[in-house]
Chain A
Amino acid sequence: MLTPVVDDDGAPFWEYAARGELRIQACADCGELRFPPRPCCPHCRSFATEWRRVAGRGRVWSYVRPHPPLLPDYAEQAPYHVVLVELTDAPRIRLVGNLVSGPDARLDSVPAERIRIGARVQVVFTSTGLPQWVLERP
């Protein structure tokens, strides 16, 4: 499987995720959240940043089901579900992830008929520190 190739701006996200925390970059001056992480606030141009913990709840904004041809590890689990989750406490922050039945479950572990736009989901973390999503009401 592909593991994130981290850059300086993104590194804190993955360090927090490895500890089981979902944190989003925020401007330490004006407080605006931003994603993906970047060195400067596009609202007030401050370089001061902080990492704000979010509740890890959201709703499915959209989703796709990729089929092969895919990289071998992914082809083996296809079709699976890639979701775009809009965070409840940060509505314009949307995170790509997978809808799975549990923290280290296969990418295709939730039946297709359970997925819909608007479904409430909650973050879980894999053993490698990747945020994933489970249905709030499985």
Chain B
Amino acid sequence: MAVLKDATAIVGIGQTPFAKRLPESERALACRAILAALDDAGIAPDEVDALASYTMEETDEVEVAKALGLGDLTFFSKVGYGGGGSCATVAHLAAAIATGQATVGVAWRSRKRGSGPRPWKNTAVQLPTPAQWTRPYGLLRPADEIAMLARRHMHEYGTTRDHLFNVALACRNRANQNPAAIMYERPLTREMYMNSRWISEPLCLFDNCLETDGALACVVVSAERARDCRRTPVYVHSAAQGLPAQHHGMVNYWNDDPLTGPAWTAARHLWKHADLTPDDIDVAQIYDAFTALIPLSLEGYGFCARGEGGAFTEGGALETGGRLPLNTSGGGLSEAYVHGFNLITEGVRQLRGTSTAQVPGAATCLVTAGEGVPTSALLLRN
């Protein structure tokens, strides 16, 4: 890990517009985001020799490399488990570059879930064999699966809907400052939250992320190369993946302790190989497909003790000026849900000092991937 610490940097970020419906294909959106990121970095497409994305990414490396006229690729990687893969795409590129397997890496995610089919309308996709233990009973959607853990957390630790509202509100408030966010100029109130319709009790409409069309990308190079790039380098200080022993994916109900998810495993590695502790983190981009993932992640990444994740959100802790400003672009809940890649690009903007909700002097940022599923995380610094 000493090999990886600050050895590489993110030097370019790019994105398409975010919307409920975009006319272009996922492939076209992927190409646009990648070109935008390369342009941001000031690096020519034919210099790219490494690619990383998610296994759920429909646009494969061959298509991207061919369409954009990339160079000879010597490293390519795809990370599994949906939103759990976001930070690992950067981690894989960082490892490849730090060990000399490549020199210029691009990670991306393109997604059209805003206009795409809702998976719970389609019976066939409900029936992979691991689902034999859950789906026949009507535990059909990720929201239902996470709501089970949320209810238990509320029961065991006194976490409340107001705590979940604090999460939704912090994300929405930041989106209200971000013209690129789907929820720009659409404020949220406690009354709206409490009176909204249920999705899966105890989770309501505003506890759920936005299904969005859009694509994002970032460019990773060595720290040495980064010094010559157009932008302030954002260094990959530490990186980790996490798949705990005896883990069982999102429905991790058969583990000894279902309320300690993959975040705990990723966090142990992340901090062990960092010069930083949770107290040193200026701003956090924590994966928020559901508000209930935030208390679990705050505990897992060590910002508070076990069971205190709900209480941590009190007193404006997640707002600008609070103990841990959260998801400062609006996150998956209020900017765009693009499998968490927007959390990486926002982490970069914070450390460049160019966020629309800038934390003054932010020098360190934790970015996390999907909690509940095998996950990944990055510590970024400038």
Chain A residues near B (Cβ < 8 Å):
1-7, 10, 14, 35-36, 42, 61-67, 69-71, 74, 77-80, 82, 84, 92-98, 107, 117, 130
**3 closest A-B pairs (Cβ-Cβ)?**
A4-B132, A65-B201, A62-B152
CA distance A128 to B193 in the complex (A): 40
Known A67-B200, A71-B140, A82-B144; judge A2-B123 contact (CB<8 A). yes
Which chain B residues border A92 with CB–CB below 8 Å?
254, 256
Q: A62-B148, A66-B140 are in contact. Are A94 and B135 (CB under 8 A)?
A: no
Interchain nearest-CB distance for B285 vs A (Å): 27
Given A36-B248, A71-B121, A96-B152 contact (CB < 8 Å) = no
Q: Do A2 and B144 contact each other (CB < 8 Å), given the known contacts A67-B201, A117-B151, A117-B152?
A: no
CB-contact partner of B254 in A10, A67, A69, A94, under 8 A = A94
Residues of B with Cβ closer than 8 Å to A?
A: 118, 120-121, 123, 126-141, 143-144, 147-149, 151-152, 155, 197-202, 246, 248, 251, 253-254, 256, 258
Q: Which of chain B's residues have a CB closer than 8 A to the CB of A64?
A: 139, 144, 147-148, 151, 200-202
**Known contacts A62-B155, A117-B155, A7 near B140 by CB under 8 Å:** no
Q: How far is the CA of A22 from the CA of B202 in the complex (A)?
A: 30
From residue A36, how far is it (CB to closest CB) to chain B in Å? Answer: 5
Note all chain B residues with C-beta closer than 8 A to A2. Answer: 123, 126-127, 135-136
Contact B139 A71 (CB under 8 A): no
Q: In the bound complex, how far is the Cα of B155 from the Cα of A10, in angstroms?
A: 31
Kindly list chain B residues whose C-beta atoms are within 8 Å of the C-beta of A6.
129, 132
Chain B: minimal CB distance from A69 (Å): 6
| CB of B78, distance to nearest CB on chain A (Å) | 25
CA distance in complex: A79, B155 (Å): 21
Residues of B within 8 A of A79 (CB): 198, 201
CA distance A92 to B147 in the complex (A): 20
Q: Which chain A residues border B130 with CB–CB below 8 Å?
A: 36
A67-B152 CB under 8 A given contacts A2-B136, A74-B138 = no
Q: What A residues does B140 contact at CB under 8 A?
A: 66, 70-71, 74
**Contact, CB under 8 Å: B118 / A82:** no
Closest A residue, CB atoms, query B258: A94
What residue of chain A has the Cβ atom nearest to residue B256's Cβ? A92
- In the complex, what residue of chain A is closest to B128 when comparing beta carbons? A5
Q: B152 contacts A82, CB within 8 Å?
A: no
Known: A5-B128, A7-B132, A36-B130. 19 other contacts (CB 8 A): A2-B127, A6-B132, A10-B133, A42-B246, A61-B152, A61-B253, A63-B148, A63-B151, A66-B139, A67-B198, A67-B201, A70-B120, A70-B140, A71-B123, A82-B137, A82-B144, A93-B254, A96-B251, A117-B155
Contact between chains at B138 and A66 (CB < 8 Å): yes
Contact A69 B118 (CB under 8 A): yes
A47 to B140: give the CA distance in the assembly, Å: 32
Q: How far is the CA of A71 from the CA of B124 in the complex (A)?
A: 11
CA A35 to CA B254, docked complex, whole Å: 7
Inter-chain contact A96/B198, CB cutoff 8 Å: no
Chain A residues near B143: list those with CB within 8 A: 66
Which chain A residue has the least Cβ–Cβ distance from B144?
Answer: A66
For A35, the chain B residues whose CB sits under 8 A away are: 254
Cα–Cα, bound, A77→B140 (Å): 14
B151: nearest chain-A partner, CB-CB: A62
